[in-house]
Amino acid sequence: MKNLILIITIVFFTASCSRNDISDAYGNFEAIEVIVSSESNGKILKLNLEEGQEVTLGDTLGLIDTTDLSLKREQLYAQSAVLYAKARNIDSQVKVQEQQKQNMLVDKARVDNLMKDGAATQKQLDDIAGALDLLEAQIRATVVQKESVIAEMGTLEVQVAQVEETLSKCWIISPLTGTVLVKFAEPGEITALGRSICKLANLDALELKVYVSGDQLPYLKIGQMVEVLIDKDKTAFTRLQGKVTWISSKAEFTPKTIQTKKERVNLVYAAKITVPNDGSLKIGMPGEINFMPAEK
Protein backbone atom coordinates (compact mmCIF):
# COMPACT_ATOMS: atom_id res chain seq x y z
CA MET A 1 0.00 0.00 0.00
CA LYS A 2 2.82 2.39 0.88
CA ASN A 3 4.51 1.57 -2.42
CA LEU A 4 1.28 2.33 -4.33
CA ILE A 5 0.92 5.70 -2.59
CA LEU A 6 4.56 6.48 -3.40
CA ILE A 7 4.07 5.61 -7.05
CA ILE A 8 0.92 7.75 -7.28
CA THR A 9 2.75 10.66 -5.63
CA ILE A 10 5.66 10.38 -8.07
CA VAL A 11 3.31 10.22 -11.09
CA PHE A 12 1.34 13.22 -9.84
CA PHE A 13 4.52 15.20 -9.21
CA THR A 14 5.89 14.29 -12.63
CA ALA A 15 2.63 15.26 -14.32
CA SER A 16 2.60 18.56 -12.46
CA CYS A 17 6.14 19.30 -13.60
CA SER A 18 5.26 18.38 -17.16
CA ARG A 19 2.29 20.75 -17.12
CA ASN A 20 4.50 23.54 -15.80
CA ASP A 21 7.01 22.89 -18.60
CA ILE A 22 4.38 23.10 -21.34
CA SER A 23 5.19 26.06 -23.56
CA ASP A 24 2.67 28.61 -24.77
CA ALA A 25 3.26 28.12 -28.50
CA TYR A 26 5.18 25.90 -30.88
CA GLY A 27 6.61 26.31 -34.36
CA ASN A 28 9.64 26.03 -36.62
CA PHE A 29 12.45 28.36 -37.50
CA GLU A 30 12.47 30.03 -40.90
CA ALA A 31 14.78 32.36 -42.80
CA ILE A 32 14.07 34.88 -45.53
CA GLU A 33 15.42 32.99 -48.52
CA VAL A 34 16.40 34.78 -51.74
CA ILE A 35 16.71 33.00 -55.07
CA VAL A 36 19.49 34.53 -57.20
CA SER A 37 18.51 34.07 -60.84
CA SER A 38 20.31 34.62 -64.12
CA GLU A 39 19.62 37.97 -65.77
CA SER A 40 21.21 36.94 -69.07
CA ASN A 41 21.48 34.05 -71.52
CA GLY A 42 24.68 32.15 -72.23
CA LYS A 43 27.37 29.88 -70.84
CA ILE A 44 28.38 30.24 -67.20
CA LEU A 45 32.11 30.99 -67.34
CA LYS A 46 32.69 31.41 -63.60
CA LEU A 47 30.73 30.54 -60.48
CA ASN A 48 32.63 31.35 -57.29
CA LEU A 49 30.32 29.86 -54.69
CA GLU A 50 29.71 26.68 -52.74
CA GLU A 51 26.91 25.61 -50.43
CA GLY A 52 27.54 26.91 -46.92
CA GLN A 53 29.76 29.72 -48.17
CA GLU A 54 29.38 33.16 -46.61
CA VAL A 55 28.85 36.00 -49.09
CA THR A 56 28.60 39.75 -48.73
CA LEU A 57 26.25 42.22 -50.38
CA GLY A 58 27.75 43.19 -53.75
CA ASP A 59 30.11 40.20 -54.03
CA THR A 60 30.64 38.85 -57.54
CA LEU A 61 29.37 35.27 -57.51
CA GLY A 62 29.85 34.40 -61.18
CA LEU A 63 30.06 35.50 -64.81
CA ILE A 64 28.04 34.60 -67.90
CA ASP A 65 29.71 34.70 -71.34
CA THR A 66 29.74 38.27 -72.71
CA THR A 67 31.36 37.66 -76.14
CA ASP A 68 28.30 38.39 -78.30
CA LEU A 69 27.37 41.48 -76.31
CA SER A 70 30.94 42.81 -76.43
CA LEU A 71 31.04 42.40 -80.21
CA LYS A 72 27.70 44.17 -80.56
CA ARG A 73 29.00 47.03 -78.44
CA GLU A 74 32.09 47.36 -80.64
CA GLN A 75 29.84 47.42 -83.72
CA LEU A 76 27.79 50.24 -82.22
CA TYR A 77 30.95 52.16 -81.35
CA ALA A 78 32.09 51.83 -84.98
CA GLN A 79 28.74 53.06 -86.27
CA SER A 80 28.92 56.00 -83.88
CA ALA A 81 32.40 56.87 -85.19
CA VAL A 82 31.07 56.86 -88.78
CA LEU A 83 28.20 59.16 -87.84
CA TYR A 84 30.55 61.46 -85.96
CA ALA A 85 32.74 61.75 -89.04
CA LYS A 86 29.65 62.38 -91.16
CA ALA A 87 28.55 65.17 -88.81
CA ARG A 88 31.98 66.79 -89.03
CA ASN A 89 31.82 66.57 -92.82
CA ILE A 90 28.42 68.28 -92.79
CA ASP A 91 29.87 71.05 -90.60
CA SER A 92 32.57 71.57 -93.22
CA GLN A 93 29.97 71.75 -95.97
CA VAL A 94 28.00 74.36 -94.03
CA LYS A 95 31.15 76.46 -93.55
CA VAL A 96 31.88 76.33 -97.29
CA GLN A 97 28.32 77.28 -98.14
CA GLU A 98 28.37 80.13 -95.64
CA GLN A 99 31.56 81.43 -97.25
CA GLN A 100 29.94 81.18 -100.68
CA LYS A 101 26.99 83.14 -99.32
CA GLN A 102 29.30 85.90 -98.07
CA ASN A 103 30.99 86.07 -101.48
CA MET A 104 27.61 86.32 -103.21
CA LEU A 105 26.52 89.08 -100.85
CA VAL A 106 29.62 91.02 -101.84
CA ASP A 107 28.83 90.43 -105.51
CA LYS A 108 25.23 91.50 -104.94
CA ALA A 109 26.35 94.71 -103.27
CA ARG A 110 28.66 95.38 -106.23
CA VAL A 111 25.82 94.80 -108.72
CA ASP A 112 23.56 97.10 -106.66
CA ASN A 113 26.12 99.86 -106.98
CA LEU A 114 26.50 99.23 -110.70
CA MET A 115 22.72 99.39 -111.08
CA LYS A 116 22.71 102.84 -109.54
CA ASP A 117 25.29 103.95 -112.09
CA GLY A 118 23.41 102.20 -114.90
CA ALA A 119 26.34 99.86 -115.54
CA ALA A 120 24.46 96.64 -114.72
CA THR A 121 21.22 95.12 -115.89
CA GLN A 122 18.20 93.96 -113.90
CA LYS A 123 18.84 90.41 -115.13
CA GLN A 124 22.27 90.39 -113.47
CA LEU A 125 20.69 91.50 -110.20
CA ASP A 126 17.92 88.90 -110.48
CA ASP A 127 20.44 86.14 -111.25
CA ILE A 128 22.58 86.85 -108.23
CA ALA A 129 19.49 87.16 -105.97
CA GLY A 130 18.22 83.81 -107.23
CA ALA A 131 21.62 82.22 -106.63
CA LEU A 132 21.58 83.58 -103.08
CA ASP A 133 18.12 82.12 -102.41
CA LEU A 134 19.23 78.76 -103.77
CA LEU A 135 22.36 78.76 -101.62
CA GLU A 136 20.39 79.61 -98.49
CA ALA A 137 18.03 76.71 -99.24
CA GLN A 138 21.05 74.41 -99.62
CA ILE A 139 22.41 75.61 -96.29
CA ARG A 140 19.07 74.87 -94.58
CA ALA A 141 18.95 71.42 -96.19
CA THR A 142 22.50 70.68 -95.00
CA VAL A 143 21.64 71.78 -91.44
CA VAL A 144 18.57 69.50 -91.46
CA GLN A 145 20.80 66.67 -92.68
CA LYS A 146 23.09 67.23 -89.69
CA GLU A 147 20.11 67.17 -87.31
CA SER A 148 19.16 63.78 -88.76
CA VAL A 149 22.70 62.49 -88.17
CA ILE A 150 22.65 63.80 -84.59
CA ALA A 151 19.31 62.06 -83.96
CA GLU A 152 20.76 58.82 -85.32
CA MET A 153 23.78 59.23 -83.04
CA GLY A 154 21.38 59.62 -80.10
CA THR A 155 19.68 56.36 -81.06
CA LEU A 156 23.05 54.61 -81.14
CA GLU A 157 23.90 56.00 -77.71
CA VAL A 158 20.69 54.50 -76.34
CA GLN A 159 21.56 51.15 -77.95
CA VAL A 160 25.06 51.29 -76.44
CA ALA A 161 23.54 52.01 -73.02
CA GLN A 162 21.21 49.03 -73.44
CA VAL A 163 24.13 46.76 -74.32
CA GLU A 164 26.12 48.09 -71.36
CA GLU A 165 23.17 47.36 -69.07
CA THR A 166 22.84 43.83 -70.45
CA LEU A 167 26.60 43.33 -70.05
CA SER A 168 26.38 44.37 -66.40
CA LYS A 169 23.71 41.71 -65.88
CA CYS A 170 26.14 39.03 -67.03
CA TRP A 171 27.86 39.44 -63.68
CA ILE A 172 26.07 37.46 -60.96
CA ILE A 173 26.05 39.74 -57.91
CA SER A 174 25.04 38.84 -54.37
CA PRO A 175 21.92 40.82 -53.37
CA LEU A 176 22.55 40.39 -49.64
CA THR A 177 24.98 39.38 -46.94
CA GLY A 178 24.30 35.80 -45.97
CA THR A 179 24.96 32.12 -46.59
CA VAL A 180 24.65 30.02 -49.73
CA LEU A 181 21.97 27.45 -48.93
CA VAL A 182 21.64 25.71 -52.31
CA LYS A 183 23.66 25.87 -55.53
CA PHE A 184 21.56 25.19 -58.64
CA ALA A 185 24.14 25.61 -61.44
CA GLU A 186 27.74 24.79 -62.31
CA PRO A 187 30.40 26.48 -64.49
CA GLY A 188 30.15 25.45 -68.14
CA GLU A 189 26.37 25.04 -68.09
CA ILE A 190 24.14 27.06 -70.41
CA THR A 191 21.82 29.29 -68.43
CA ALA A 192 18.81 31.32 -69.47
CA LEU A 193 17.08 34.47 -68.29
CA GLY A 194 15.32 33.75 -65.01
CA ARG A 195 17.02 30.41 -64.32
CA SER A 196 17.94 29.93 -60.65
CA ILE A 197 21.65 30.08 -59.84
CA CYS A 198 21.64 29.74 -56.05
CA LYS A 199 19.59 30.30 -52.91
CA LEU A 200 20.83 32.68 -50.20
CA ALA A 201 19.63 33.54 -46.72
CA ASN A 202 20.86 35.73 -43.90
CA LEU A 203 21.26 33.39 -40.93
CA ASP A 204 22.35 36.04 -38.42
CA ALA A 205 18.76 36.01 -37.16
CA LEU A 206 16.02 33.47 -37.82
CA GLU A 207 12.27 33.77 -37.48
CA LEU A 208 10.33 31.31 -35.34
CA LYS A 209 6.82 31.03 -36.77
CA VAL A 210 4.37 29.91 -34.09
CA TYR A 211 0.60 29.73 -33.72
CA VAL A 212 -1.30 31.16 -30.76
CA SER A 213 -4.94 30.70 -29.85
CA GLY A 214 -7.47 33.47 -29.60
CA ASP A 215 -7.39 33.56 -25.80
CA GLN A 216 -3.59 33.90 -25.87
CA LEU A 217 -3.60 36.71 -28.45
CA PRO A 218 -4.26 39.59 -25.99
CA TYR A 219 -1.02 38.72 -24.20
CA LEU A 220 1.12 38.98 -27.36
CA LYS A 221 2.06 42.22 -29.13
CA ILE A 222 4.53 43.51 -31.70
CA GLY A 223 7.91 44.36 -30.18
CA GLN A 224 7.37 42.17 -27.12
CA MET A 225 10.33 40.13 -25.87
CA VAL A 226 9.54 36.45 -25.28
CA GLU A 227 11.39 33.41 -24.06
CA VAL A 228 12.38 31.01 -26.83
CA LEU A 229 13.21 27.38 -26.10
CA ILE A 230 15.07 24.96 -28.34
CA ASP A 231 16.01 21.36 -27.63
CA LYS A 232 19.36 20.98 -25.88
CA ASP A 233 19.05 17.25 -25.36
CA LYS A 234 16.25 14.76 -24.75
CA THR A 235 15.17 16.38 -21.49
CA ALA A 236 16.59 19.92 -21.38
CA PHE A 237 16.08 23.16 -23.29
CA THR A 238 18.35 25.99 -24.33
CA ARG A 239 16.62 29.26 -23.47
CA LEU A 240 16.98 32.29 -25.76
CA GLN A 241 15.35 35.69 -26.10
CA GLY A 242 13.31 36.67 -29.13
CA LYS A 243 11.30 39.64 -30.30
CA VAL A 244 7.79 39.48 -31.74
CA THR A 245 8.01 41.10 -35.19
CA TRP A 246 4.74 40.05 -36.84
CA ILE A 247 1.27 38.85 -35.82
CA SER A 248 -1.26 37.77 -38.41
CA SER A 249 -4.43 39.83 -38.65
CA LYS A 250 -6.45 36.81 -39.74
CA ALA A 251 -7.25 33.55 -37.99
CA GLU A 252 -6.54 30.20 -39.62
CA PHE A 253 -6.73 26.52 -38.78
CA THR A 254 -3.71 25.15 -36.98
CA PRO A 255 -1.28 23.36 -39.33
CA LYS A 256 -1.53 19.57 -39.20
CA THR A 257 2.00 19.29 -37.87
CA ILE A 258 1.02 21.03 -34.64
CA GLN A 259 0.12 18.87 -31.64
CA THR A 260 -3.03 16.75 -31.44
CA LYS A 261 -5.97 16.44 -33.83
CA LYS A 262 -8.12 18.32 -31.32
CA GLU A 263 -5.70 21.26 -31.43
CA ARG A 264 -5.38 21.10 -35.20
CA VAL A 265 -9.01 22.02 -35.78
CA ASN A 266 -8.84 25.17 -33.62
CA LEU A 267 -8.57 28.63 -35.14
CA VAL A 268 -5.24 30.23 -34.33
CA TYR A 269 -3.16 33.27 -35.26
CA ALA A 270 0.31 33.00 -36.78
CA ALA A 271 3.12 35.06 -35.27
CA LYS A 272 6.83 35.45 -36.01
CA ILE A 273 9.53 35.88 -33.42
CA THR A 274 12.96 37.08 -34.56
CA VAL A 275 15.75 35.34 -32.68
CA PRO A 276 19.46 36.26 -32.96
CA ASN A 277 21.39 33.24 -34.19
CA ASP A 278 24.64 32.29 -32.51
CA GLY A 279 25.01 29.39 -34.93
CA SER A 280 22.87 26.94 -32.98
CA LEU A 281 19.66 27.74 -34.84
CA LYS A 282 18.91 25.95 -38.11
CA ILE A 283 16.18 26.40 -40.69
CA GLY A 284 13.32 23.98 -39.95
CA MET A 285 14.38 23.40 -36.35
CA PRO A 286 11.42 23.21 -33.93
CA GLY A 287 11.10 25.83 -31.25
CA GLU A 288 8.79 26.88 -28.46
CA ILE A 289 7.98 30.16 -26.77
CA ASN A 290 6.71 31.29 -23.38
CA PHE A 291 4.95 34.64 -23.05
CA MET A 292 1.80 34.07 -20.96
CA PRO A 293 1.68 35.45 -17.39
CA ALA A 294 2.61 32.92 -14.71
CA GLU A 295 -0.91 32.92 -13.29
CA LYS A 296 -2.32 31.93 -16.68
Q: Rounded to two decimals, what is the model's pTM?
A: 0.69
Average pLDDT value for the chain: 87
d(CA 70, CA 184): 27
pLDDT at 106 over 60: yes
pLDDT at 15 over 60: no
Pick the range with the lowest mean pLDDT from 61-75, 138-152, 163-177, 258-272: 258-272
- Residue 21: what pLDDT? 55
pLDDT tens-digit map of 113-147: 887 877 778 888 888 888 888 888 988 888 888 88
pLDDT tens-digit map of 182-241: 999 999 999 999 999 999 999 999 999 999 988 899 999 999 999 999 998 888 999 999
Contact 274, 205 (CB under 8 A): yes
pLDDT tens-digit map of 239-269: 999 999 999 988 887 666 665 555 555 788 9
- Residue 4: what pLDDT? 41
